[in-house]
Amino acid sequence: MPGDCPLLSPSDLDELLARPAEPRTAGIIPDRHGTGTNGLLLCPPDTLAPSFGPGSCARHLSDAQTAGIAAERISVPTMALDVDTPADLELLQQTLASTHGGAAHTRGMLSQLMRSRM
Protein backbone atom coordinates (compact mmCIF):
# COMPACT_ATOMS: atom_id res chain seq x y z
CA MET A 1 0.00 0.00 0.00
CA PRO A 2 1.40 3.41 -0.91
CA GLY A 3 1.90 5.80 1.98
CA ASP A 4 0.16 8.78 0.39
CA CYS A 5 -3.43 8.12 1.48
CA PRO A 6 -3.73 10.60 4.36
CA LEU A 7 -7.41 9.99 5.05
CA LEU A 8 -6.99 6.23 5.60
CA SER A 9 -9.02 5.10 8.57
CA PRO A 10 -7.39 2.50 10.83
CA SER A 11 -10.75 0.74 11.12
CA ASP A 12 -10.97 0.48 7.32
CA LEU A 13 -7.50 -1.05 7.25
CA ASP A 14 -8.48 -3.51 10.00
CA GLU A 15 -11.60 -4.43 8.01
CA LEU A 16 -9.55 -5.02 4.86
CA LEU A 17 -7.08 -7.26 6.66
CA ALA A 18 -9.88 -9.25 8.31
CA ARG A 19 -11.51 -10.10 4.96
CA PRO A 20 -11.57 -13.82 4.25
CA ALA A 21 -9.39 -14.67 1.28
CA GLU A 22 -9.23 -17.73 -0.89
CA PRO A 23 -5.82 -18.90 -2.06
CA ARG A 24 -4.51 -16.84 -4.99
CA THR A 25 -6.72 -13.79 -4.78
CA ALA A 26 -6.17 -10.09 -5.39
CA GLY A 27 -8.13 -7.22 -3.88
CA ILE A 28 -7.51 -4.03 -5.86
CA ILE A 29 -8.33 -0.71 -4.20
CA PRO A 30 -8.69 2.07 -6.80
CA ASP A 31 -7.91 5.75 -6.39
CA ARG A 32 -10.64 8.40 -6.49
CA HIS A 33 -10.40 8.57 -10.29
CA GLY A 34 -10.87 4.81 -10.63
CA THR A 35 -7.76 4.49 -12.78
CA GLY A 36 -4.88 4.21 -10.32
CA THR A 37 -4.35 1.72 -7.50
CA ASN A 38 -4.11 2.87 -3.88
CA GLY A 39 -3.86 -0.59 -2.36
CA LEU A 40 -3.42 -4.25 -3.13
CA LEU A 41 -4.65 -7.02 -0.88
CA LEU A 42 -2.85 -10.14 -2.11
CA CYS A 43 -3.10 -13.71 -0.91
CA PRO A 44 -0.40 -14.91 -0.88
CA PRO A 45 1.61 -11.67 -1.02
CA ASP A 46 3.49 -12.68 -4.19
CA THR A 47 0.34 -13.62 -6.12
CA LEU A 48 0.57 -10.56 -8.36
CA ALA A 49 3.44 -8.22 -9.15
CA PRO A 50 2.54 -4.66 -8.10
CA SER A 51 2.48 -2.24 -11.03
CA PHE A 52 1.54 1.22 -9.75
CA GLY A 53 1.25 4.36 -11.87
CA PRO A 54 -1.19 5.64 -14.49
CA GLY A 55 -3.72 2.99 -15.51
CA SER A 56 -2.62 0.62 -12.76
CA CYS A 57 -6.12 -0.40 -11.64
CA ALA A 58 -7.02 -1.83 -15.06
CA ARG A 59 -3.52 -3.27 -15.38
CA HIS A 60 -3.80 -5.09 -12.03
CA LEU A 61 -7.23 -6.48 -12.99
CA SER A 62 -5.92 -7.59 -16.38
CA ASP A 63 -2.76 -9.14 -14.91
CA ALA A 64 -4.88 -11.07 -12.41
CA GLN A 65 -7.21 -12.34 -15.13
CA THR A 66 -4.26 -13.39 -17.33
CA ALA A 67 -2.73 -15.28 -14.39
CA GLY A 68 -6.03 -16.97 -13.51
CA ILE A 69 -6.22 -15.18 -10.17
CA ALA A 70 -9.57 -14.23 -8.68
CA ALA A 71 -9.61 -10.43 -8.48
CA GLU A 72 -12.00 -8.03 -6.83
CA ARG A 73 -12.16 -4.26 -7.07
CA ILE A 74 -12.70 -3.01 -3.51
CA SER A 75 -14.01 0.48 -2.77
CA VAL A 76 -12.47 2.03 0.35
CA PRO A 77 -13.48 5.70 0.53
CA THR A 78 -10.77 6.64 3.05
CA MET A 79 -8.14 5.28 0.64
CA ALA A 80 -9.51 6.95 -2.49
CA LEU A 81 -7.60 10.21 -2.10
CA ASP A 82 -3.87 9.91 -2.62
CA VAL A 83 -1.51 12.85 -2.83
CA ASP A 84 0.24 13.03 -6.19
CA THR A 85 -0.38 16.61 -7.33
CA PRO A 86 -0.94 20.10 -5.90
CA ALA A 87 -4.64 19.66 -6.77
CA ASP A 88 -4.71 16.57 -4.52
CA LEU A 89 -3.26 18.64 -1.66
CA GLU A 90 -5.93 21.27 -2.20
CA LEU A 91 -8.67 18.62 -2.16
CA LEU A 92 -7.18 17.15 1.02
CA GLN A 93 -7.22 20.59 2.64
CA GLN A 94 -10.86 21.13 1.58
CA THR A 95 -11.86 17.68 2.83
CA LEU A 96 -10.22 18.22 6.21
CA ALA A 97 -11.76 21.70 6.48
CA SER A 98 -15.23 20.20 6.01
CA THR A 99 -14.79 17.68 8.83
CA HIS A 100 -14.30 18.04 12.57
CA GLY A 101 -11.73 16.36 14.77
CA GLY A 102 -9.06 13.84 13.92
CA ALA A 103 -5.98 14.15 11.76
CA ALA A 104 -4.48 16.90 13.91
CA HIS A 105 -0.93 16.29 12.67
CA THR A 106 -2.01 16.11 9.03
CA ARG A 107 -4.03 19.31 9.41
CA GLY A 108 -1.07 21.10 11.01
CA MET A 109 1.48 19.96 8.44
CA LEU A 110 -0.85 20.77 5.56
CA SER A 111 -1.53 24.23 6.95
CA GLN A 112 2.22 24.84 7.31
CA LEU A 113 2.87 23.57 3.77
CA MET A 114 0.15 25.76 2.27
CA ARG A 115 1.53 28.83 4.10
CA SER A 116 5.03 28.16 2.78
CA ARG A 117 3.73 28.05 -0.82
CA MET A 118 2.62 31.68 -0.58
Judge whether 69 and 24 are in contact, CB under 8 Å: yes
User: Largest alpha-carbon pair distance within the chain?
Assistant: 51
Alpha-carbon distance of 105 to 59, in angstroms, equals: 34
Residues paired with residue 94 on neighbouring β-strands, in sequence order: none
CA-closest candidate to residue 70, choices 19, 115, 110: 19
| Tens digit of each residue's pLDDT (9 = 90 or more) over 64-109 | 999 999 999 999 999 999 998 889 988 998 888 888 776 777 777 7
Residues paired with residue 43 on neighbouring β-strands, in sequence order: 25
| Tens digit of each residue's pLDDT (9 = 90 or more) over 8-28 | 889 999 999 998 888 899 999
H or E stretch covering 88: helix 86-97
> Where are the CATH 3.90.550.10 domain residues in the chain?
10-80
Q: What is the CATH number of domain 10-80?
A: 3.90.550.10
Q: Which residue has the higher pLDDT, 110 or 8?
A: 8
